[in-house]
Chain A
Amino acid sequence: MSAALDAPERPAASEAFRAVSTARKVKNQLATVLVTLAFVIAVIPLVWLLVSVLIKGFPAIVSVDWWTKSLSGVTPDQARGGVYHAIVGTLVQALIAGIIAVPVGIFAAVYLVEYGRGRLARITSFMVDILSGVPSIVAALFIFALFISIGGLSQSGFLVGLALVLLMLPVVIRNTEEMLRLVPDELREASYALGIPKWKTILRIVLPTALSGTVTGVMLAFARVMGETAPVLVLVGYARAINFDPFEGNQASLPLLIYTELSTNPSAAGQLRIWGGALTLILIVMVFQLAASLISRYSAISK
């Protein structure tokens, strides 16, 4: 608009219309600069970090072995082998968490939105907030205390999955809840009017309507837990070979691989593996994030 307004044929403004004091103008400009600067300041570490990881990790991930082989039989200073075993572990542990956390989380969200009322609902909602703030190391310690100290089990990928459930739940619940609240009441009423009971209405009408948003939430929850390091430090040992069985023996995961190599392997091969692992982890997380945002873009209910 200013282009038209500042057209040269316009006469210059009179004093009255320029009367904003210099101090105010300067303050306003300063605020604009500072606020823009804040954004730039946040972008700097992001770009710096991503570029560092990309440059240092890229040489590692271009080899086919990286994606298809484990480190079994590879000595620490040898630049060969791959992280297949760690990818497997990461996915298996996240999957275990998802199998438990997704249904429980969705049902809990249904409870909060459709059934919950009174004190119990308020407490539940409050506890979801608390759970989303529980540090991953505390979740891991809890699982350790319950299953290893008291239950007498030994460390395993499955226990990691259980700890991840606690971290996944609030994300699934909050996202599902938000989507369920967006489902218009008219839909529910239309279904009730047809004589369909409430639970069937929820299962057949409400949840499918909210599906894409729910899936988005699940994807985000996966993205969150796959990068978690604290639970794997406490609950499972590192293995250099592939282990598909989460109930038995040590199982690697990308965070654990990075941590182990960082703390035990100062060789050049170790450095390469660390950064390659970081890049791989970021890529996997990004895939889930991207899936989440793609799904939410084609969401059935627009916000």
Chain B
Amino acid sequence: MAKRLDLKDVDIYYGDFHAVQNVNLSVPPRSVTSFIGPSGCGKSTVLRTLNRMHEEIPGARVEGEIQLDGEDIYARGSDAVAVRRTIGMVFQRPNPFPTMSIRDNVVAGLKLQGVRDKKKLDEVCEASLKGANLWKEVSGRLDKPGGGLSGGQQQRLCIARAIAVQPDVLLMDEPCSALDPISTLAIEDLIGDLKKDYTIVIVTHNMQQAARVSDQTAFFNLEATGKPGHLVEIDDTEKIFSNPQERETEDYISGRFG
């Protein structure tokens, strides 16, 4: 189920603006890769090209290749909608559908794909909520709206919703930045559990978080505002935080910059 991601010579543009320059990296299956870097370095932009969410911005364009287990996600005839089904995403701000019940939120993706069998939906709902460590807290009120949960619970609901469709990769765009420390801890624990089954890419502003949850870390930087962001280096997390190859990385990690 979990698959590897490879980025080859990826350049990202918004209209005439060159947002990210020449990114090459690989994300192995069943691992957590974190993207770190200062604001504006393009880490979120890169993340959003991985499931083609960037296409929702008019004028956005990608050059180079992004492959999922060797298959180009931008191949001719491929559909962004289908790509997003196989590469799930969790956002900065928990975004359950406010009018839907907890159950309907979890199975929303499956229903889109035309699964109508109630028994199957209930099974997936339970399994996904268990997978997101939320089952115990909500099993008694699956018919209540998802908006009634706490911020941390909502975010786990969103993770449950993302894994319910059994994606190959899970992208997380600063999933804890809107949460309190205890909820953050719960999500971080969950990420540790999820990597047994999924390939995970997480963007974070919090370096400690990157150090805690990820197996490898990619550091992005930009020379100046208005210049394209670029990948400085990617390596095992331990190595990036203890003994990075590049001076820029070291400066950033040690807080001398950014």
Contact = CB atoms under 8 A, between A and B. Distances in A.
Is there a direct interface between A and B, measured as CB atoms under 8 Å apart in the complex? yes
Interface of A: 1, 4-8, 10-14, 16-21, 23-24
A13 B60 contact: no
Contact of B82 (A4, A6, A11, A20): A20
A16 B1 CA distance: 13
Instruction: Give 9 closest A-B pairs by Cβ, nearest first.
Output: A13-B78, A17-B78, A13-B75, A1-B61, A13-B77, A10-B76, A14-B71, A19-B82, A17-B82
Given A18-B77, A20-B79, 12 more contacts: A1-B55, A1-B59, A1-B62, A4-B63, A8-B76, A13-B71, A13-B76, A14-B78, A17-B82, A19-B85, A20-B82, A20-B85
B165 to A, nearest CB: 11
A23 B82 CA distance: 14
Interface residues of B, number: 23
Contacts of A19: 79, 82, 85
B113 interface: yes
Nearest to A28: B81
Contact of A12 (B60, B61, B62, B75): B75
A11 B79 CA distance: 14
Nearest to B63: A4
A17 B83 contact: yes
A21 B78 contact: no
Given A4-B61, A24-B112, A12 B77 contact: yes
B67 to A, nearest CB: 10
A215 to B, nearest CB: 33
Nearest to B59: A1
B86 interface: yes
B255 interface: no
Interface of B, helix, strand, loop or mixed by DSSP: mixed
B91 to A, nearest CB: 22
A75 B86 CA distance: 79
5 contacts: A10-B74, A16-B82, A18-B78, A19-B82, A20-B85
A39 to B, nearest CB: 19
Given A14-B71, A23-B114, A6 B76 contact: yes
B79 A18 contact: yes
A21 B79 CA distance: 11
Nearest to B74: A5
Nearest to A19: B82
B75 to A, nearest CB: 4
A18 B82 CA distance: 6
A12 B79 CA distance: 11
B73 interface: yes
B114 A21 contact: yes
Contacts of A21: 113-114
Contacts of B83: 17
B81 A12 contact: no
B112 to A, nearest CB: 7
B72 interface: yes
